[in-house]
């Protein structure tokens, strides 16, 4: 539903930075080769990363390199706590239209699992379904926040990954597919 597009940014934002914060692998190309230490979400969540940053304390200037659409604004969260932190929008996840046969294929599928990795993706997916609830469709959402963006009828068909990471999503998708195979 989206394509990742790098965005132009002012590299001056990285001058005098002590470290970079990454909450998405899509920001890595913008910081590669800058020789700065990196704080990453890794297998955890932005909340876990915030806890780690708070435990380390505001010892250096930080730059959060991220996409245009944020799930969690780290600058707004940390600035009031004395952190010197800047924001750098380095990419955008742009929506792309579905080809004409996509929606009919979703509606015709006997068994289909749709993985949704963000609240924004869930909202976009629901909008594209435009009120349709294909019988064979099941959803795996990365978080409760993601599933909350779906209409009630689609939330009822959703499984939420145990933790908000790729490994848990893969396990949830596999479990959902196995369950679908056993349905009549």
In tens, the pLDDT along 128-153 reads 999 999 999 999 999 999 999 999 99
Q: Give percent of the chain with pLDDT exceeding 90.
A: 80
N residues, the chain: 184
Of 66, 94, 77, 90, the C-alpha closest to 7 is 90
Of 106, 158, 71, the C-alpha closest to 150 is 158
Name residue 87's beta-bridge partners. 64
Three-state secondary-structure class, residue 91: strand
As given in the structure block, the two tokens for residue 98 are: 């579905």
Q: How confident is the model at residue 165 (pLDDT cuts 50, 70, 90)?
A: confident
Contacts of 178 (CB under 8 A, 6+ apart): none
Start-end of H helices in the chain: 28-31, 46-56, 74-78, 102-108, 119-129, 144-147, 152-155, 166-182
Contacts of 141 (CB under 8 A, 6+ apart): 116, 122, 147, 150, 158, 159, 160, 161
In tens, the pLDDT along 15-74 reads 999 999 999 999 999 999 999 999 998 776 788 899 999 999 999 999 999 999 988 899
């Amino acid at each position: 539903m989206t394509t990742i597009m790098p965005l132009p940014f002012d590299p001056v934002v990285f001058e005098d930075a002590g470290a970079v914060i990454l909450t998405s692998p899509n920001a890595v190309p913008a910081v590669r080769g800058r020789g700065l230490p990196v704080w990453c979400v890794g297998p955890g969540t932005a909340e876990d990363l915030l806890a780690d940053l708070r435990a380390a304390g505001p010892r250096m200037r930080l730059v959060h390199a991220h996409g245009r659409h944020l799930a969690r604004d780290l600058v707004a969260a940390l600035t009031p706590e004395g952190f010197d932190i800047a924001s750098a929008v380095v990419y955008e996840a742009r929506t792309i239209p579905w080809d004409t046969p996509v929606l009919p294929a979703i509606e015709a599928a006997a068994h289909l699992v749709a993985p949704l990795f963000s609240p924004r993706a869930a909202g976009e997916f629901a909008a594209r379904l435009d009120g349709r609830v294909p019988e064979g469709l099941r959803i795996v959402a990365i978080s409760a926040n993601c599933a909350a963006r779906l209409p009630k009828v689609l939330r009822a068909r959703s499984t939420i990954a145990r933790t908000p990471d790729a490994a848990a999503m893969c396990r949830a998708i596999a479990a959902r597919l196995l369950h679908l195979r056993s349905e009549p």
